[in-house]
Copies of this chain bind each other. A is one copy, B any other.
Amino acid sequence: MHKSRLSGFIIDCKTQDLEAAAQFWGEALGWPAKQFDDSEEAEYRYLETSNDDLHVEVQRVSHESRVHLDIETDDVDAEVTRLERLGAKRISEVKDWCVMEAPTGQRFCIVPLSRDRSSGRFNSWG
Give A contacts to B, CB under 8 Å: 4-6, 9, 11, 13-15, 20-21, 24-25, 27-30, 50, 54, 56, 64-69, 71, 83, 86-88, 102-106, 108, 121, 123
Q: Are A5 and B24 in contact (CB under 8 A)?
A: no
Q: Are B24 and A106 in contact (CB under 8 A)?
A: no
User: With the chains together, A29 CA to B50 CA distance in Å?
Assistant: 21
Q: Are A5 and B30 in contact (CB under 8 A)?
A: yes
Q: Which of B4, B14, B56 contacts A105 (CB 8 A)?
A: B14
Residues of B within 8 Å of A30, CB to CB, are 4-6, 123
Q: Are B24 and A87 in contact (CB under 8 A)?
A: yes
Interchain residue pairs with CB less than 8 A apart (25): A4-B30, A5-B30, A6-B29, A6-B56, A9-B67, A11-B104, A13-B104, A13-B106, A14-B104, A14-B105, A21-B103, A21-B104, A24-B86, A24-B87, A28-B86, A28-B88, A28-B108, A29-B69, A54-B54, A65-B105, A65-B106, A66-B67, A67-B67, A67-B68, A67-B106
